[in-house]
Structure 1
Amino acid sequence: FGAAPSSVDAATQWLSSLNGTQIRLSPMRDRLTAKFFSAPAGCFSSRGLPLRPPAGVHLVTRSDAGAETSDGDPSPRARRKSSGYGVGEQKAAYQIPASLAATNPATLQMVWGPGTFGYSPLGLQAFRATQCPGINPSKVRFDTDHHGRFGGDNFMEGNLDTHMISAFGMNVSTLVSNTNASLSTEEGDGFGLALLDFVTGLANRAVVPHVLSLSLGSLSAYSCDLLCAEAAKTRKVSRGECEAYLQSQRQVCMFKSEAQVARINHGLMALGLRGVSVLGSSGDGGSHWSFGPFRGAGRVPSVLNEVGCAFSFPIFPSPSPYMASVGGTVWEAGDPRRPVAWEGSGGGFSWQFGRPEHQEAAVAAYLSRTAGLPPAASFNASNRAYPDMSAVAVEGTSESAPTVAGIFSLLIDARLNAGLPPLGPLGPRIYEVARAFPGEAFDDVATGNTKTSCATGFPATKGWDPATGWGRPRWPGLLEHFGSDESIRGRAAVRSR
């Protein structure tokens, strides 16, 4: 009964291309609903009806002045294209030539997610037509039999990941991977096992990607344990009540234990040893949340919101020492020359992993010179700090991570063409380049804070900070210092004298 999947997919992508958000399919598969906060000029007729719908689509519209999304904020998916954040505008901001595309057939990039994670080939074609004509859909394919399921949260995530990595890593062979389609992996702690199986399995494949982008994650296991331990101390909520509540929340606590997180971290290290550059989203809840404060009335969310603001609660896997963590920016007043930290950009300090040596100088400088830091007991100032860099995140850091991943795929393409090896783990080189050649590979972003709805967070400042890392990409400098080894060799020669 209802419409055929191909018809539903076509109508969904058409609504999305008009900046439709909260697109929902009815249980009878005979009706799609969507909200519109804005649309590109010319998309609506004088009577308010969108022009040229797909065959078989009949329109019923309603105008709600001042309407908002369920969280009280216009959906970021509704803001992007109509607010000047298209792919072309972003590439111009990063000084990336619009037509720049990979030329080496061996260059390989990948996005991954479990559950309903996948992408729509029709949607990619629509995105290509409206945003990035240089995308080569024939270079994008699934690498497992799990192709996701339309309507799931992770399916939308997979679409976004695929669009952005294909747009910024143009003409790079792209794998869309879903290695576990169980629904238990979509929102709860089944995710951790799926990620563990994936990273360990990938490290043992004969061929591994040069770049892997991971947008999904949640609060780390340590963060979830700390949250419930502190909540139980109030005597208003038991630990059992807290743990049960967190598992009822979407993508808040998706790891079983610190031991599981440590095993995933070892898998990420193994990928690095195979030469894979792994990048991940720094999170969408600042330094306190997975996405935002807990909603609803009652004892449990009220207590958890108090505790949530009292401590820093880092996510995982992005703060792994073996990943490059990507935060988020927006443009002040819509001006691409004025990047500021996106208000939800995740950042802070891991509770579980020590700080790698390459971070020491930059993080120590930040901690010593920055006023307005959170209370010292609310975070571990000795541990891995994140993010490492940032990019536009009007759709969250699930947009910025695959964007930067695609950019690094092009850098690796240049390296392969020059007979150089891939980059592998990016952290040491990011910090060396940023210190040695300030302002060349990254535009500093010194405005913003990770506090979100809380009283304290980590302020953005000059140099590295936990709001935007070293800042946003600058293609000419990235190409010079990552696409080639000459500048790094030159520094090594100077040090050896």
Structure 2
Amino acid sequence: MTPHHSSSLLRLLSLLPLLTVPLTSTVTATPVTLTAHLRQSNLTELESTFWAIADPKSSLYLKHLSLPELAELIGASYEDIDAAAAFFKKAGGYDITVSNLRDTVTASFDSKPDVRLTSRGLPHESTHPDAVEFLVRQDVLPPSTPPLIPSAPPRTSAGSDSSPSYTISNIKDAYGIPTDYQASHPDTTQMVWGPGTFGYSKAKLEAHKIAEAPLINMDKIEFWTENHGTPGGDNFGEGQLDVDMISSFGLNVTTLVANTNTSASTEETTGFGAALLNFLTDLSSREEVPHVLSMSLGSLSSASCNLLCSEAAKTGIALTDCQAYISEQRQVCMYLSDDQTARINTALQVLGARGVTVMGSSGDGGSHFSFGPFQGSGDDAAIADALNEVSCKFQMPVFPTASPYVLSIGGEMWEVNSKHPVTWAGYGGGSGAGFSIQFEAPPHQQSSTTVSDYLQKPGMPPASSFNAKNRAYPDMSAVGVMGTSQSCPISAGIWSLITDIRLNKGLPPLGFVAPRLWQVAEEYPGEAFEDIIGGDSNTSCSNGFPATDGWDANTGFGRPIWDGFVKHFADDDVHA
């Protein structure tokens, strides 16, 4: 515990630890904000506590932590908070606030801050307090701003066989979910998130409701943020799909739509990682959090991007040329560094410890790409060719789905009809799969032979192309014929219904459910998940992970079986 500080600011903080505390105030407009992410405390203890809360065999299982408990555990020291606030104030910042978790300080600026304040999100050692690990900037754009990115064609297709009918009712029927089943607890809440132009049209949702899901409760869908996206933007289509799917499967659940930034860079390049970091740290410090969070967007992990260029450099491509090229590729390499993704992971741990079930799409590029092969002309052609060769030589994980603190959702499609599920593939891409480069296998994978048994089966990619000791994904799958941006919110809606049953019984939410999911799938095979066999993660390469019997690094344990979900996840008696 940090000793009491004598300044008036910190006396105020000690008296009001749960409030977002205004340090200075003004009525001036705020076109730009900067958030300083401060050095956190006791991260090893947070890690062990997180896993204990998620482990069905632990005495701490589902004993979620409160916001003040987490603030006391990981919050920055009062001295560090004071230093960051003074730094912002000296630089012209105002409306300075401290997060409830005491791990960020945010300030507003009338104009673009001095370039010395931030460089690609990294603090300058000569000018910043030592405790500042990242600086994230948000530009507030006026509502009249035209679309930042023109409408893009769908990245995915209905699969190799377009004959199946993937209606909402048919998907529910395949999973055994009653078409008219609705949530009934008033507090059950789910959320979807995206940056940039991410949003949805109420008119389009209403049309979807009329055509496929007449029981959608339009009154329970609302924006969580002031940013409502930009029609015509690429991420607006993502948001529409997310809202359509999560509200169709999580019927009558309060659905929050979050867009935390309106900058074009947050859709295309490293601005995305900054926006994700800001969103997760902001959400984790809120008094109220959703029970389920669905995140459909992501890109190659920072570790994957580093590997790409380091390997390309061995072929004669200049490292700086490679880095410049990939930085310009839309939605391919969108994270600043491995340190940034580690900080994002801390926020994910906080959310899980508070009882939030966080899900991420497994990706649409199989186990090799973010979406598909690199393309280039002129001087870029040689770089693209080199990167494609490297991409096929290794299995390239994406993030945040490869995080050990996210429930990863792959994609399925149907051959002929719903009774014959296989791995989703389309437009040269396919359901994301593989092993993290940066993060070791979580405890529930380390204590199991499931992954090692799978890797003994025929048809595996070269062992040198991935690290078999690291986090393996996905965990499960759902229909993803429009990409895993469809399967993730479908799964989220289903988990929301399970949460609703639990809340009605007076039980706590499941929070990070992966350890229990693996336990159920291993001990009761075929009860909660229907196995998916067929297809692979090769995409346009000659190697990848096959979808085989049992868990596989392509479709996880398979798709949901509703009755088994209710039996094994909606009640704790069977696993007491």
- Write the distance in 2 (CA, Å) between the matches of 1:153 and 1:352: 29
Please point out which of 274, 278, 301 is paired with 2:384: 301
Which of 351, 363, 368 is residue 437 of structure 2 equivalent to?
351
**1:79 CA drift (Å):** 9.8
Is 1:319 paired with 2:405? Answer: no
Correspondence for 2:294 among 213, 219, 226: 213
Q: Work out whether 1:152 is the aligned partner of 2:233.
A: yes
Q: Identity across aligned pairs (percent)?
A: 56
Cα deviation per residue 1:360-411 (whole Å; 9 max; x = unaligned)? Answer: 32112212x3112111111000000000000111100000000000000000
| 1:433-452 alignment, distance < 5 Å | 433-452=520-539
> Paired residue for 2:509, among 401, 422, 426?
422
Distance (Å, rounded) in 1 between the aligned partners of 2:375 and 2:172: 37
Residue-by-residue CA offset, 1:31-83 (whole Å, 9 max, x unaligned) = x999xxxxxxxxxxxxxxxxxxxxxxxxxxxxxxxxxx798xxx527999984
**Quick one: which of 406, 423, 426 aligns to 2:493?**
406
Distance 1:80 1:88, change over 3 A: farther
The two structures, once aligned, show a CA RMSD in angstroms of 2.1
Q: Aligned runs of 1:175-324 on 2, under 5 Å?
A: 175-235=256-316, 237-297=317-377, 298-324=381-407
| Other-structure match for 1:365 | 453
Which whole-Å CA distance do the structure 2 matches of 1:152 and 1:208 have between them?
27
The letter for the 1-side match of 2:286 is: R
CA drift at 1:285? 0.3
After TM superposition, give the deviation of residue 319 of structure 1 in Å.
1.2
Q: Is the 8 A contact 2:151 2:233 kept in 1?
A: no
Distance 1:76 1:269 in 2: 34
Residues 363, 398 of structure 2: 8 Å contact kept: yes
> Whose radius of gyration is greater, 1 or 2?
2
Separation in structure 2 between the aligned mates of residue 133 and residue 486 of structure 1, nearest angstrom: 35
Deviation at 1:240, TM superposition (A): 1.1
Structure 1 runs (4+) deviating above 3 angstroms are: 77-83
Q: In 2, distance between residues paired with 1:216 and 1:33?
A: 17
The equivalent of 2:180 in structure 1 is: 99
Q: 2: distance between equivalents of 1:391 and 1:240?
A: 40
Partner of 1:76, secondary structure, is: coil
TM-score, normalisation: structure 2:
0.71
Tell whether 2:481 aligns with 1:394: yes
Letter in 2 for 1:352: Q
The SS at the match of 2:332 is: coil
Any stretches of 5+ residues in structure 1 without a counterpart?
Answer: 1-27, 35-68, 490-497
The residue that corresponds to 1:13 in the other structure is: none
Letter of the structure 2 residue corresponding to residue 97 of structure 1: P
Following TM superposition, by how much is the alpha carbon of 1:444 offset from its aligned partner in structure 2, in angstroms? 0.4
CA distance in 1: counterparts of 2:319 and 2:154, whole angstroms = 29
**In the superposition, relative to structure 1, how do residues 80 and 446 fare at CA in structure 2: closer, same or farther (>3 Å)?**
closer
Normalised TM-score (structure 1): 0.82
Q: Quick one: distance in 1 between partners of 2:161 and 2:334?
A: 29
- Look up the SS of the partner of 1:158 in the other structure: helix
Q: Contact 1:80/1:394 (CA < 8 Å) preserved in 2?
A: no
**Structure 1 residue 295 displacement after superposition:** 2.3
Cα shift readout 1:130-156 (whole Å, capped 9, x = no counterpart): 111111111000011100000111000
Structure 2 unmatched runs, 5+: 1-145
Offset, 1:242: 1.1
Q: Look up the match of 1:432.
A: 519
Whole-angstrom CA distance in 2 between matches of 1:248 and 1:206: 38
> What secondary structure does 2:491 align onto?
helix
Q: Matches of 1:183 and 1:292 in 2, distance apart?
A: 21
Decide whether the 8 Å contact of 2:404 with 2:439 is kept in 1: yes
Aligned to 1:40: none
Q: Specify which of 201, 204, 208 is matched with residue 120 of structure 1.
A: 201
Which amino acid in structure 1 is aligned with residue 301 of structure 2? S
Question: What amino acid maps onto 2:256 in structure 1?
Answer: L
Write the letter of the residue equivalent to 1:271.
L
